[in-house]
């Protein structure tokens, strides 16, 4: 989605310094910007989603230090969106259906999706999301194709060179220049 801004601090050897979930203020600032770019505008929804991401980051940081809290927060918000869409639409592990649902929701045509995602709305949006879904891959439409000859330039050139050599060595009686004079 573009260059990483405000990334993790680096160690003297240039590698990223492992961070802890305590780097939340820096990650939260970027997470608000990211959620706004996704189309989540209500502050209460942003706070609720941010809290869910923070809990997930704390659990993730308990197992291993995070290399970059901002990157980990964005990964978690995307995983949270995918988890919600999978549960909302009951699509299981179908990657094409998940991508189509993600496009339908993030396309901006479904009002109230962010409130439902944040857990602030009780009504399911499955029918609205399915109505906006489009298949990522069109149906197969095999076409017949006429056979065509492939005439590679190297084959033509080879024939021309062979014909020129043959003219020079095999038929010395023929003129060799366009005017007809022998050289």
Query: How far, in Å, CA of 134 to CA of 172, rounded?
Result: 72
- In sequence order, what DSSP letters do the residues of 71-100 get, joined into one string? HHHHHHHHHHHHHHHHHHHT-TT-HHHHHH
Question: pLDDT tens, 80-106?
Answer: 999 999 999 998 888 888 988 999 899
Q: Cβ atoms within 10 A of the Cβ of 60, count?
A: 16
Measuring CA to CA, which residue among 107, 119, 9, 111 is closest to residue 66?
9
Question: pLDDT tens, 63-83?
Answer: 888 788 889 999 999 999 999
pTM: 0.63
pLDDT at 169: 81
């Amino acid at each position: 989605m573009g260059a990483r801004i405000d990334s993790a601090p680096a160690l003297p050897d240039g590698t990223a310094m492992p961070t802890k979930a305590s780097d939340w203020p820096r990650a939260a600032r970027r997470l608000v910007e990211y959620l706004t770019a996704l189309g989540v505008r209500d502050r209460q929804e942003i706070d609720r989603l941010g809290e869910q991401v923070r809990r997930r980051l704390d659990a993730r940081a308990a197992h291993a230090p995070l290399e970059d809290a901002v990157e980990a927060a964005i990964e978690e918000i995307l995983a949270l969106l995918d988890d919600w869409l999978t549960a909302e639409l009951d699509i299981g592990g179908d990657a094409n259906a998940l991508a189509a649902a993600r496009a339908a929701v993030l396309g901006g045509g479904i009002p109230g999706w962010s409130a439902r995602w944040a857990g602030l709305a009780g009504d399911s949006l499955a029918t609205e999301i399915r109505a906006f879904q489009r298949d990522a891959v069109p149906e197969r439409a095999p076409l017949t194709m006429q056979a065509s000859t492939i005439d590679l330039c190297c084959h033509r050139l080879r024939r021309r060179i062979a014909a020129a050599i043959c003219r020079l060595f095999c038929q010395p009686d023929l003129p060799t220049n366009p005017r007809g004079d022998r050289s």
